[in-house]
């Protein structure tokens, strides 16, 4: 056995290990290595590129709109997930007599999504998002006939948020500052992919993973801009997904003053100069319009929704 062969043997590489390396490098690079020809590592750098840092925050590279460092005094904590309990919150506060999925279906689907993010080659650049707070969520179907986003958001979703919040914090208040001002005034931003998510909701419920603050410190315009380099199965947080997450997890997303504000960055309100957002403190939770879309706040974030 040669010295080189001995070194490989000492590493206990199996044939499966070597096959995995060949698959990762690709046929062209493998042939060049085998024949002794030089090659560049540009392709390898591309494959190893990650879109999220070790904390699960989106790395703001190549953006033209403002981003600042997150204010770490505003933070979230990952809860232990009791799938049955969270589904029960959804059913009660959305006033559904029966949900279209069971707790076991909910759990199986979400664990499968986590597995894809963690191990699938397709999402290798996004695996670090799992290092942040990730909340399993079920989005309920919405009627297609006569659909108006703003009307459904106010009548269905914000009402559910209010019931969930006031049940958990009976001494606090919920305020919708745009009450009566959402119907026919809310639109979905092109490129956010939130429209694709809503299209799925016309057909039935959608199970997904909602990451509430991977974009903390991004201006709303930067949140929208960064979507261009994310895999297609991610959508930017809008109203339906953000409101559902708050309804299912008010203890996490409306905990106190130290929870970040949540931009509904996939939405515009009235015109392109305004968007919408949630914010909480120790006494209340409120929903309002947002201005200064090009300004980066370290205490605010938009969400990302990942589903099949």
Cβ neighbours of residue 40 closer than 8 Å, sequence gap 6 or more: none
How many whole angstroms separate alpha carbon 230 and alpha carbon 206? Answer: 20
Burial class (CB in 10 A: 0-12, 13-18, 19+), 53: middle
How many whole angstroms separate alpha carbon 93 and alpha carbon 243? Answer: 11
Please tell me the predicted confidence (pLDDT) of residue 34.
73
Evaluated on CA atoms 121, 127, 130, 135, the torsion sign reads negative
How many whole angstroms separate alpha carbon 197 and alpha carbon 89? Answer: 22
Contact call for residues 169 and 283 (beta carbons, < 8 A) = no
Total count of residues recorded for the chain: 308
**26 and 80 both lie in a single domain:** no
Cα distances (Å, whole numbers) of residue 256 to 75, 100, 172, 297? 10, 32, 11, 18
**158 and 234 both lie in a single domain:** yes
Please tell me the predicted confidence (pLDDT) of residue 35.
72
Cβ neighbours of residue 12 closer than 8 Å, sequence gap 6 or more: none
**184 and 72 both lie in a single domain:** yes
How many whole angstroms separate alpha carbon 112 and alpha carbon 126? Answer: 15
**196 and 276 both lie in a single domain:** yes
Please tell me the predicted confidence (pLDDT) of residue 32.
64
- In terms of DSSP bridges, do strands 300-302 and 206-211 run parallel, antiparallel, or are they unpaired? unpaired
pLDDT tens, per residue, the chain with 308 residues: 545 444 444 456 666 556 655 655 556 566 666 776 655 555 445 445 799 999 999 999 999 999 999 999 999 999 999 999 999 999 999 999 999 999 999 999 999 999 999 999 999 999 999 999 999 999 999 999 899 999 999 999 999 999 999 999 999 999 999 999 999 999 999 999 999 999 999 999 999 999 999 999 999 999 999 999 999 999 999 999 999 999 999 999 999 999 999 999 999 999 999 999 999 999 999 999 999 999 999 999 999 999 99
Contact call for residues 61 and 165 (beta carbons, < 8 A) = no
Query: The tokens of 69 are what?
Result: 């460092």
**232 and 272 both lie in a single domain:** yes
Please tell me the predicted confidence (pLDDT) of residue 14.
66
Contact call for residues 273 and 291 (beta carbons, < 8 A) = yes
**109 and 139 both lie in a single domain:** yes
Please tell me the predicted confidence (pLDDT) of residue 28.
59
Please tell me the predicted confidence (pLDDT) of residue 16.
59
**106 and 244 both lie in a single domain:** yes
Q: Please give the tally of structural domains in the chain.
A: 2
**144 and 281 both lie in a single domain:** yes
**147 and 254 both lie in a single domain:** yes
**72 and 21 both lie in a single domain:** no
How many whole angstroms separate alpha carbon 10 and alpha carbon 3? Answer: 11
**149 and 296 both lie in a single domain:** yes
Q: Three-state SS string across 168-225, please? A: HCCCCEEEECCCCCCCCCEEECCCCCHHHHHHHHCCCCEEEEEECCCCCCECHHHHHH
Q: What range does the domain containing 18 cover? A: 3-47
**63 and 42 both lie in a single domain:** no
Please tell me the predicted confidence (pLDDT) of residue 112.
98
Please tell me the predicted confidence (pLDDT) of residue 119.
96
């Amino acid at each position: 056995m040669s010295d080189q062969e001995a070194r490989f043997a000492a590493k206990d590489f199996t044939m499966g290990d070597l096959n995995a390396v060949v698959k990762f490098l690709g046929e062209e690079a493998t042939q060049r290595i085998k024949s002794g020809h030089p090659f560049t590592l540009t392709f390898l750098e591309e494959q190893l590129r990650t879109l999220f840092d070790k904390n699960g925050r989106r790395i703001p590279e190549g953006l033209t709109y403002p981003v600042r460092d997150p204010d770490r005094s505003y933070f979230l904590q990952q809860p232990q997930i009791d799938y049955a309990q969270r589904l029960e919150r959804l059913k009660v506060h959305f006033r559904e007599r029966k949900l279209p999925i069971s707790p076991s279906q909910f759990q199986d689907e979400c664990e499968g999504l986590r597995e894809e993010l963690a191990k699938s080659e397709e999402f290798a650049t996004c695996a670090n998002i799992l290092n942040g707070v990730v909340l399993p969520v079920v989005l309920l179907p919405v009627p297609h006939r006569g659909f108006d986003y703003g009307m459904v958001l106010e009548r269905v979703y914000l009402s559910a948020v209010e019931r969930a919040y006031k049940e958990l914090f009976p001494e606090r208040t919920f305020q919708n500052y745009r009450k009566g001002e959402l119907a026919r005034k809310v639109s979905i931003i092109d490129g956010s992919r939130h429209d694709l998510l809503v299209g799925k909701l016309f057909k039935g419920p959608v199970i997904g993973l909602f990451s509430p603050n991977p974009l903390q410190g991004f201006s709303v315009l930067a949140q929208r801009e960064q979507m261009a380099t994310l895999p297609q199965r991610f959508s930017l947080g809008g109203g339906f997904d953000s409101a559902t997450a708050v309804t299912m997890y008010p203890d996490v997303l409306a905990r106190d003053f130290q929870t970040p504000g949540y931009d509904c960055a996939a939405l515009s309100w009235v015109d392109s100069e305004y968007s919408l957002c949630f914010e909480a403190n120790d006494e209340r939770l409120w929903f309002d319009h947002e201005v200064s879309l090009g300004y980066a706040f370290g205490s605010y974030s938009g969400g990302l929704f990942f589903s099949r």
